[in-house]
Structure 1
């Protein structure tokens, strides 16, 4: 088979040349013959916001379309210089790289490898300990034991691709925020828990905890794009007393599951069974639930989803 040379440039965002700060956001690949140009972006908005909050205003899909049209229309020898000057604060280096390929599949493999080495954030290996709110609640621990009993609890992040649930999923590296659980079926789904059993009044600490959970769910919008859901799992002895806290969580959740509602539990079981491609349906979780259970009708009045 014929081996063909492909040239590429790394796309970088440089919001202020004087500061010298930059972040890689993708590749532009020049295909043989000079007629085709493809742009491959990997945008990590947390990194861009940390560099300059104004960068979040860039419409990346529109930018890629405009850049492709412009590059295709100009002579091959002028394309790199055009990239350096026409799209500030997005630019590229003077020198181009190159790779060889014999098929479209090999081209894509090379592009994926370049993106991983040059653009995608390195895998986090050190976790900063959050000494504020407790990492694990009783409800979170009970759900984790349920997942383990059903043999769907993974041990590390790699298990996401093996139809397993993982815990402490990082939704924002910038703010060191983690979702209680995550699972994947093409799209990523995240799950936050809020344990309000035995609560007789909403203390400032509980309100802050609910606000924190809501913020994590809001930050998870970025990682759940493309069909993923942000799920809140809650349990309470008296939902009428804790309604403000649940309302805060509902604000940024796509679905709210009450563990006192069998209808809600069935919905969660169906979602997990389908997402994890299980051949048998999960059994009900064994939780230490309150005898003062909320009815499905009452909860659904609070739950807009």
Structure 2
């Protein structure tokens, strides 16, 4: 049986003032299956084309923190999965941000996350 899920593309906006962005991951939440996960992939060549002086290790650390938040590390441990998802997907004006939240149906959220990564990021 397919269950509803929500997802948002995680974007890197190296220079906020220019508005250019690179898709670097996907955040996916399926309430009925108690699933919340983020997958990220930083394409160094694409990033360097837009922002050759960007601190890539710092960006990678921020992206890693999305995975840790989904897993409930640190202060996120006190939050329910849905709260974590909506906190991560909330609009922000930082270098790492999400696009709009979209919905779908799936019977395997992990596989859906990988499909979305292949289609939207890699």
- For normalisation by structure 2, the TM-score amounts to 0.71
Match in the other structure for 2:116: 114
CA distance in 1 between counterparts of 2:33 and 2:112 reads 19
Q: Does the Cα contact within 8 Å between 1:37 and 1:68 map onto a contact in 2? A: no
- Structure 2 matches for 1:131-210, cutoff 5 A? none
Question: In the TM superposition, what is the alpha-carbon distance from 1:77 to its structure 2 partner?
Answer: 4.3
Match in the other structure for 2:39: 40
1:100 to 89, 102, 105: 105
More strand by share: 2
**1:97-116 alpha-carbon deviations (Å, 9 max, x no partner):** 122122x3xx3443233222
Match in the other structure for 2:57: 57
Q: Does the Cα contact within 8 Å between 2:3 and 2:30 map onto a contact in 1? A: no
Q: Does the Cα contact within 8 Å between 1:39 and 1:64 map onto a contact in 2? A: no
CA distance in 1 between counterparts of 2:55 and 2:104 reads 31
When Rg is computed on C-alpha atoms for both structures, the one with the higher figure is 1
Q: Does the Cα contact within 8 Å between 1:14 and 1:90 map onto a contact in 2? A: yes
Higher relative contact order (CA 8 A, sep 6+): 2
Question: In the TM superposition, what is the alpha-carbon distance from 1:70 to its structure 2 partner?
Answer: 3.5
2:97 to 91, 100, 103: 91
Query: Structure 2: where are the runs of 5+ without partners?
Result: none
CA distance in 2 between counterparts of 1:77 and 1:59 reads 21
CA distance in 1 between counterparts of 2:89 and 2:36 reads 12
CA distance in 1 between counterparts of 2:57 and 2:46 reads 14
- For normalisation by structure 1, the TM-score amounts to 0.32
Match in the other structure for 2:3: 4
What CA RMSD, in Å, does the superposition of the two structures yield over aligned residues? 2.6
CA distance in 2 between counterparts of 1:69 and 1:33 reads 21
CA distance in 2 between counterparts of 1:118 and 1:48 reads 16
